[in-house]
Amino acid sequence: MKVSRRTLLKIAGISLMGGGVRPALEALGAGESSKIVASPNRLVGKRWAMAIDTKKCPPGCHDCIDACHREHNVPDFGNPKDEVKWIWNEPFKDVFPAQEYRYIDEGRKEKPVLVLCNHCDNPPCVRVCPTQATFKRKEDGIVMMDYHRCIGCRFCMAGCPYGARSMNFRDPRPFIKKINPQFPTRTKGVVEKCNFCEERLARGLIPACVEACKEKALVFGDLENPAADIRKLLKAQLTLRRRPELGTQPQIYYIV
Amino acid sequence: MLEKALIGDRKYWTWVGFLVLLIGVGGFYYLQQLDYGLGITGMSRNVSWALYIAQFTFLVGVAASAVMVVLPYYLHHYKAFGKITILGEFLAVASVFMCVTFIIVDLGQPARAFNVLLYPTPSSILFWDMVVLSGYLLLNILIGWTVLASEKKSISPPRWVKPLIYLSIPWAISIHTVTAFIYAGLPGRSFWLTAIMAPRFLGSAFASGPALLILLCFILRKFTRFDAGKEAIQALAKIVTYALIASIFFVLMEIFTVFYSQVPEHMQYFQYLFVGLHGHYALVPWMWAAVILAAIALVLLMNPRARQNETLLAMACAAVFFSLWIEKGLGLVVTGFIPSPLEKITEYYPTGPEVAITVGVWAMGLLILTGLYKVALAVKAETEEGSSRSSAT
């Protein structure tokens, strides 16, 4: 069979289209195959929140902290200046300064209370960020970070009234004990904080801290779901929130 | 016209060489900061803004203060300011340049700075600060350069500059107002959460900026043939006096509200500044130095005879400048973080590299100022020579 020059060029062109252009497009993220498909097992909520029963927290326990920091490749610099932390303990008197008074029981005053990002319904950090690198996810209210967009201006750290945010003042990677390949490490010069384990929710898992707590002191759930455990808990118990008077509408509820 | 900055005597080049050296040292440490991260500075998780952002805040004030010569000259035809208006405008140019550089050196990821343009976010005051600062820089370069070029040709400036000059007046107010809003709109940082922040910023700006301009005029008179004229200097001195009084008045109003109301959360910052908090005193000597300097300046400036004595006036202006630099360039930013939202007192001390970088940026601003002033004075000398020659014939 004699192939004309014209046909040959046509075939060459078509094979280029199929064999060359398509993979190139896919590599650029335009191809169908690279679309992110949500897992059918994922946990879906309209307003995620957490209740912390401080009475159930055993003294000296930090299982939840370790689980979170392991899961999210949080570095340990070993000094408070460069410190990066997502969830940690602070004395009751510093978490709830308005609740401190002269005759408060000493034990209660110094009792360690877990603190983390409050995933505010009206988050000042999101309002002040000049690049939308930190944003509130519309569907479930989680306040998230895009580590690739953050310019490291630290306006969010000034804006957060809870001290929930950490800056990578140095390269964190050499200070991560064991890297979890399931979650990205960060670069120097960006801010980070608790993400309510959005990466685990997407795989159908509850947050790492909640899972790690043997005492069931942490309850995570959807406030918009009247049947959720957290709703029942908020109905049955009086809870405190950190600095609710600021109008940030924090979504971490404390049973004290 | 720019070529005039390249002709100078030995003193001029020694000064330029000195500034270039400081810039080089700052640049060296900035490369180290790029490599290591902002951990090279004294900033910490609790005190996350410090010297860099404080310099930025102070210098926005110096930049805005150009309006104090532009407004009387162009709106009220106050002729005495004719010779120094260009100095005010070029001081604004150099100051805004330093402001932008201080923001850049403060970024953790400076290579991503343009994300602010790629994802414009009107809810962020930092976005608006970028808009007003870049606009103000452009306005002052354009106005200053065009008016000077016309002066060189001994013609009146083109008509399109007038509206830009009028625009630059409210624009100057806007840059410092927006900069105050960066602080004054944050819930939970009670030291900054006060409506008087913007007026306070403007008050201190209109004192420190013109005080610096007076000092610059004295320096220029000593080292060049340029003389701003007694009337212009005295008018500037009156502006410094009133602005200093306003500035002190605003601070006292703040102190009244804070201490009469007795709200601990509002009092603690002022306690940290002036008497120390729970055994932490790092800023106390500085703040009292600022108070004493301001008091000395106030006594000198309010007395007309002292104000007319140029040695005393120079001393008063230096006192105003350093007092307000301590207040804004040192105390204001750091104290907003002490104590932290979790009641921790973390004191801040700048590191050597941080100070070197800061000095480098100041030197860069001074180099720009030197070049621009050189051009302006050369043009002015030329036209004066020309006019005196033509009047002789």
Residues B14-35 pLDDT 10s = 999 999 999 999 999 999 999 9
C-alpha distance from B253 to closest chain A C-alpha (Å): 24
Which residue of A74, A76, A81, A113 to mutate against B (max B Cβ within 10 Å)? A81
C-alpha distance from B74 to closest chain A C-alpha (Å): 36
Split at pLDDT 50, 70, 90, the class of B154 is confident
User: CA end-to-end span of chain B, whole Å?
Assistant: 27
Could you tell me the two tokens for B213? 């301009």
Among B135, B141, B145, CA closest to B170: B135
Is the confidence at residue B161, as pLDDT, over 70? yes
Which SS3 state, helix, strand or coil, does residue B37 take?
A: coil
- Whether residue B393 is contained in a domain is answered as no
| Rounded Cα gap, residues B380 and B349, in angstroms | 45
| Rounded Cα gap, residues B70 and A32, in angstroms | 60
Which residue of A169, A186, A192, A249 to mutate against B (max B Cβ within 10 Å)? A169
Q: What ipTM describes this predicted complex?
A: 0.92
Mean of the per-residue pLDDT values of chain A: 90
CB-CB: which of B36, B187, B340 is closest to A124? B187
Residues B232-256 pLDDT 10s = 999 999 999 999 999 999 999 999 9
- Interface contact A169-B344, CB threshold 8 A: no
Half-sphere exposure (Cβ direction) of B358: Cα atoms closer than 13 Å? 20
Residues in chain B closer than 8 A to A190 (CB atoms) = 108-109
Is the confidence at residue B226, as pLDDT, over 80? yes
Domain that holds residue B169: 2-381
Is the confidence at residue A137, as pLDDT, over 90? yes
Split at pLDDT 50, 70, 90, the class of B168 is very high
- Whether residue B392 is contained in a domain is answered as no
Exposed, middle or buried, B31 (CB in 10 Å: 0-12/13-18/19+)?
A: exposed
C-alpha distance from B133 to closest chain A C-alpha (Å): 15
Split at pLDDT 50, 70, 90, the class of A160 is very high
Among A191, A145, A167, CA closest to B44: A167
Instruction: Give me the sign of the Cα torsion angle B44, B46, B48, B50.
Output: negative
Residues in chain B closer than 8 A to A186 (CB atoms) = none
Domain count, chain B: 1
Cα torsion at A85, A91, A93, A95 (round to 10°)? 20
Is the confidence at residue B368, as pLDDT, over 70? yes
- Whether residue B388 is contained in a domain is answered as no
- Interface contact A154-B344, CB threshold 8 A: no
Is the confidence at residue B393, as pLDDT, over 50? no
8 Å CB contact between A217 and A211: no
| Rounded Cα gap, residues A59 and A61, in angstroms | 6
User: CA end-to-end span of chain A, whole Å?
Assistant: 87
Structure-model confidence comparison of residues B204 and A19, the more confident one: B204
- Whether residue B27 is contained in a domain is answered as yes
Mean of the per-residue pLDDT values of chain B: 94
Residues A40-75 pLDDT 10s = 899 999 999 999 999 999 989 999 999 999 999 999
Residues in chain A closer than 8 A to B103 (CB atoms) = 153
Give the domain CATH number at B111. 1.20.1630.10
| Rounded Cα gap, residues B393 and B384, in angstroms | 14
Is the confidence at residue A99, as pLDDT, over 50? yes
Is the confidence at residue A90, as pLDDT, over 80? yes
Count other C-beta atoms under 10 Å from residue B290's C-beta: 22
Residues in chain A closer than 8 A to B344 (CB atoms) = 94
Q: How far is CA B266 from the centre of its chain?
A: 27
- Interface contact B108-A158, CB threshold 8 A: no
Residues in chain B closer than 8 A to A153 (CB atoms) = 103, 106-108, 126
Which residue of A86, A151, A167, A171 to mutate against B (max B Cβ within 10 Å)? A151
Backbone angles phi, psi at A84, to 5 degrees: -120, 130
- Whether residue B192 is contained in a domain is answered as yes
C-alpha distance from B145 to closest chain A C-alpha (Å): 32
Task: List, in order, residues 6 or more apart from B152 with CB less than 8 Å away.
Answer: B1, B379, B382, B383
CB-CB: which of A95, A126, A188 is closest to B37? A188
Which residue of B41, B56, B105, B112 to mutate against A (max A Cβ within 10 Å)? B112
CB-CB: which of B39, B188, B265 is closest to A82? B39
Query: Which pLDDT does position A36 carry in this prediction?
Result: 76
- Whether residue B390 is contained in a domain is answered as no
- Whether residue B281 is contained in a domain is answered as yes
In percent, the amount of chain B with pLDDT more than 90 equals 88
Could you tell me the two tokens for B123? 């809810």
Residues in chain A closer than 8 A to B121 (CB atoms) = 129-132
Nearest CA in chain A to B117: A131
Question: Which residues in chain B (270-309) have CB-CB distances under 8 A to chain A?
Answer: none
* Mean pLDDT computed over B110-121: 95
* Mean pLDDT computed over B316-322: 97
Query: Which pLDDT does position B385 carry in this prediction?
Result: 73
